[in-house]
């Protein structure tokens, strides 16, 4: 059974989370069951939708946290309950050796995610990265490693306001 990692957009327009969640469930269903194992950094948006989809079809996941202060500095107030709930359901949680969150820590966590998975799902609209460590950078790094990448961006999906 492959270990499946995820990268994807954090800020999604209204109604997009439901489209992406359904798409993730469809993509992961062939691997359903206890053997399915995901790898995520558990950011808001695509990462958390992935974790929920993994759980919904009977799999497990591990979490890679980019920095020691990630929860306090990078998880927004509206997302704390969901983040904590999903973090508690992870089989393992590991922290990158960065004291402070930032672009370098995010990319390092994504590189570690790529080391731990056999296949990457990218919830990505195909646009270039705006900042270091964004989705396009992670996809580029995965492809450079010759890691299989499946891009998911369902019809009607849009980037936009925060997922709530």
Closest CA to 40 of 81, 85, 90: 90
CA distance 113 to 107: 10
Per-residue tokens: 18: 């439901």
Per-residue tokens: 156: 């009607």
**pLDDT tens for each residue of 68-94:** 999 999 999 999 999 999 999 999 999
Percent residues over pLDDT 70 in the chain? 98
Task: Give the model's confidence band at 163: pLDDT under 50 very low, under 70 low, under 90 confident, else very high.
Answer: very low
Which region holds residue 7: left if phi is over 0, alpha if psi is between -120 and 50, else beta? beta
Domain 3-152 has CATH 3.40.50.450: yes
**pLDDT tens for each residue of 104-153:** 999 999 999 999 999 999 999 999 988 888 999 999 999 999 999 999 99
pTM score: 0.94
Give the DSSP per-residue string, the chain.
--EEEEEE-S-B-TTHHHHHHHHHHHHHGGG-STT-EEEE---TTHHHHHHHHHHHTT-EEEEEES-TTHHHHHS-GGGHHHHHHHHHT-SEEEE-S-SS-SHHHHHHHHHHHHHH-SEEEEE--SPPPSSTTSHHHHHHHHHHTT--EEEE--TT--B-SPP-
């Amino acid at each position: 059974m492959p270990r499946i990692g995820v990268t994807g957009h954090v800020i999604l327009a209204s109604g997009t989370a439901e489209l992406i969640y359904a798409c993730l469930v469809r993509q992961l269903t062939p691997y359903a069951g206890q053997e399915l194992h995901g790898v995520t950094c558990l950011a808001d948006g695509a990462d958390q939708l992935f974790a929920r989809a993994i759980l919904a079809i009977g799999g497990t996941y591990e979490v890679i946290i980019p920095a020691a202060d990630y929860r306090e500095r990078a998880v927004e107030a509206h997302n704390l309950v969901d983040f904590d709930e999903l973090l508690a359901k992870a089989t393992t949680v590991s922290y990158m050796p960065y004291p402070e969150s930032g672009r370098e820590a995010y990319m390092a966590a994504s590189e570690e995610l790529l080391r731990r998975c056999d296949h990457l799902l990218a919830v990505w609209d195909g646009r270039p990265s705006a900042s270091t460590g964004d989705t396009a950078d992670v996809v580029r790094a995965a492809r450079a490693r010759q890691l299989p990448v499946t891009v998911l961006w369902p019809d009607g999906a849009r980037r936009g306001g925060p997922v709530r």
